[in-house]
A = this chain, B = another copy of it.
Amino acid sequence: LRGYEEFIHHSVTLREGPEAACARMGFRVRTPEDVDRAARYFDELGCRTQRVAAGTTPGFGEAVRAIDPLGFTIELVHEIEHVEPLVQRYDLRRGASINRLDHINIATPDVPVAFDYYSKLGFGLSETIEDFDEKKLYAAWMFRKQTVHDVAFTLGSGPMIHHIAFAVPESHNIFSLCDTIGALDLQASVIERGPGRHGVSNAFYLYILFHDAPTTEIYTTDYFTGDPGHQPIRWDVHDERRRDFWGNAVVPSWYLAASGLLDLDGHPTPVHDQPVTERTVTVGADGLG
């Protein structure tokens, strides 16, 4: 599957399996040599890695897979088969008019560690949720592309995927999707949260559920972060607007649902619990956004 803007073979693959899980998250590296560089990098960190031949993932060239220091299964690849982008094929656009994969939101029991690791990888920080009194970091939004994020880390049992988000052109595309879901009488099972505007990221959003896929966010109108010296916006964990700028409550299921991962052998990745006593306080008040 790919968005209308995307000119690569795919950005998401859905496969049937014995249980619902995310096999891995991929990043493209800028050059063919960066694949080798990535392999050496993870070897040096003592991470388990796996080289995969071109074509192992359809449309992808040679790649390296690894269990990163956060326990997350990732894949790095440079060569991807190109296909024709369909940006202006408005005659073909359907549904919410998905333009592209925008970001992945990861639940992790230790947000500062995730933040440090991704900072070293060269990711910028756009927004945080923090308890300023307790000096505690609840969530961090981090970017390589010049938008609010490619990955976000939020406090929770993990490593797990909280949601995967897709960008659409304008807010009316999101409302049209809601209308279609309602017309099909699927709103109770498919619409989890929203639509609304996030405080964090400024985006219009909608969270939807279908079958066993991770929670999916439909997303638009965040902002540009590519200027040198971009300063992160730091939200107080007590500011209710961080999650929904219009003050709508977050449904409880949204805090609890996250999808597990598979390791390099296709077995479930162990999940480290976020301690329950703390979660009672903090997950209910955390920064998933």
Residue numbers of A with Cβ under 8 A of B are 5-8, 28-31, 78, 80, 82, 85, 87-92, 99-100, 145-146, 167, 169-172, 175-176, 178-185, 187-188, 191, 195, 197, 199, 202, 204, 221, 223-224, 226-231, 233, 240-241, 245-249, 251
Nearest Cβ on chain B to A141's Cβ, whole angstroms:
14
As for how many copies of this chain the complex holds, the number is 4
Nearest Cβ on chain B to A45's Cβ, whole angstroms:
24
Nearest Cβ on chain B to A277's Cβ, whole angstroms:
28
Q: Knowing A146-B145, A170-B170, A227-B28 touch, does A91 contact B247 (C-beta < 8 A)?
A: no
In the bound complex, what is the Cα–Cα distance between A233 and B88 (angstroms)? 11
Q: Knowing A90-B180, A229-B82 touch, does A175 contact B169 (C-beta < 8 A)?
A: no
Q: Knowing A78-B228, A227-B8 touch, does A171 contact B175 (C-beta < 8 A)?
A: yes
In the bound complex, what is the Cα–Cα distance between A73 and B241 (angstroms)? 40
Q: Which 3 A-B pairs have the closest CB atoms?
A: A187-B247, A90-B179, A182-B245
Q: List the B side residues contacting A251 at CB < 8 Å.
A: 249
Q: List the B side residues contacting A89 at CB < 8 Å.
A: 183
| Contact with A7, one of B197, B226, B231 (Cβ below 8 angstroms) | B231
Q: Knowing A188-B247, A224-B145, A247-B188 touch, does A183 contact B90 (C-beta < 8 A)?
A: yes
Q: List the B side residues contacting A223 at CB < 8 Å.
A: 5, 87, 99
Instruction: Check if B226 sits within 8 Å of A145, measured CB to CB.
Output: yes
Nearest B residue to A240 via CB reads: B188
Nearest B residue to A221 via CB reads: B169
Instruction: Check if B146 sits within 8 Å of A228, measured CB to CB.
Output: no
| Contact with A146, one of B80, B146, B229 (Cβ below 8 angstroms) | B146
| Contact with A90, one of B80, B82, B182 (Cβ below 8 angstroms) | B182
Instruction: Check if B5 sits within 8 Å of A195, measured CB to CB.
Output: no
Q: List the B side residues contacting A181 at CB < 8 Å.
A: 246
In the bound complex, what is the Cα–Cα distance between A197 and B175 (angstroms)? 9
Instruction: Check if B187 sits within 8 Å of A246, measured CB to CB.
Output: yes
